[in-house]
Amino acid sequence: MNRFDKRGWNVNIRTVQKEDIKACHRIEQACFESGEAASLKSIQERAAVYPDGFIVAEIDHSVVGMVNSGSTDSDDITDEAFKKLIGHTENGKNIVVFSVSVLPEFQGKGIASALMKQFIKRAGQLKKDKILLLCKTDLIPFYKRLGFEYGGISDSTHGGSKWHEMVFRLSPMPDQWAGPDKIQNRP
Ligand SMILES: CC(C)(COP(=O)(O)OP(=O)(O)OC[C@H]1O[C@@H](n2cnc3c(N)ncnc32)[C@H](O)[C@@H]1OP(=O)(O)O)[C@@H](O)C(=O)NCCC(=O)NCCS
């Protein structure tokens, strides 16, 4: 379990549970345009197939943010089918982030940063080599501050947008990220 107090909010970061799916889908819809947002079925699949790679932030028992992912041996993360976990390999060397999102009314308070820090620790504990993700231009500095390197412009045309690849090398794990994974596990 990882709790932190942010401007009076008691934020808890933990692994996803079945009961969180609807809230996670609402977050996805609130945060991404219709061409980019994952469907309820996709969110359900991600939580069911790879809960270790799906963490949520909750405030007063209400889920307000999430990070979900899949795992693969491939370095090519432009494959749209992979977002439905086609080709997902639990023991793959890479962990690929599909969605980092925080409800608009809770943005700007450090919740995504806290989620990503826990996610990086989790990925290290899962013995992954790299975390890979695609982001838009304005979020490159956010990921760089967390320790990601710029990986170039992606071939992905997801949602008709331009995407950049970001890479976090976990092997060897940078010192500041070593230590126990404090995320609350599934019951
Ligand atoms: C991006 C997002 C997850 C950030 O969540 P958040 O909880 O507000 O993030 P934090 O409060 O931890 O802020 C992280 C930093 O990123 C910056 N940031 C957040 N959104 C940004 C944006 N759209 N453009 C530029 N910088 C942004 C913040 O200013 C902050 O910078 P700071 O550390 O210097 O203060 C959230 O805005 C969101 O859900 N957006 C819609 C979905 C999305 O685009 N997800 C990213 C997919 S790659």
Query: What residue ranges do the domains of the chain occupy?
Result: 2-177
Nearest CA to ligand 1 atom 28: 108
Q: How much distance in Å is there from the Cα of 42 to the middle of ligand 1? A: 23
Q: Is the beta carbon of 110 within 6 A of some atom in ligand 1?
A: yes
- C-alpha closest to that of 164 among 130, 185, 141: 141
Q: Is the beta carbon of 142 within 6 A of some atom in ligand 1?
A: yes
**Which residues, listed in sequence order, are joined to residue 159 by a DSSP beta bridge?**
none
Q: Note the pLDDT of residue 186.
A: 43
Cα 123 to Cα 98, 159, 166, 182: the distances in Å are 14, 27, 15, 12
Q: Which atom of ligand 1 is nearest to the CA of 109?
A: 11
Grouped pLDDT means (10 residues each) for the chain, 187 residues: 65 96 98 91 97 96 97 91 90 97 95 96 96 96 97 88 94 71 50
Q: Is the beta carbon of 111 within 6 A of some atom in ligand 1?
A: yes
Q: How much distance in Å is there from the Cα of 105 to the middle of ligand 1? A: 12
Q: Which atom of ligand 1 is nearest to the CA of 142?
A: 16
16-34 per-position pLDDT tens digit? 999 999 999 999 999 998 8
Cα 27 to Cα 6, 23, 38, 88: the distances in Å are 20, 6, 10, 23
Q: How much distance in Å is there from the Cα of 162 to the middle of ligand 1? A: 17
Q: Note the pLDDT of residue 79.
A: 83
Nearest CA to ligand 1 atom 32: 142
Q: Could you tell me the end-to-end alpha-carbon distance of the chain, in angstroms, rounded to an integer?
A: 12
50-59 per-position pLDDT tens digit? 999 999 999 9
CATH of 2-177, picked from 3.40.390.10, 3.40.50.720, 3.40.50.1220, 3.40.630.30, is 3.40.630.30
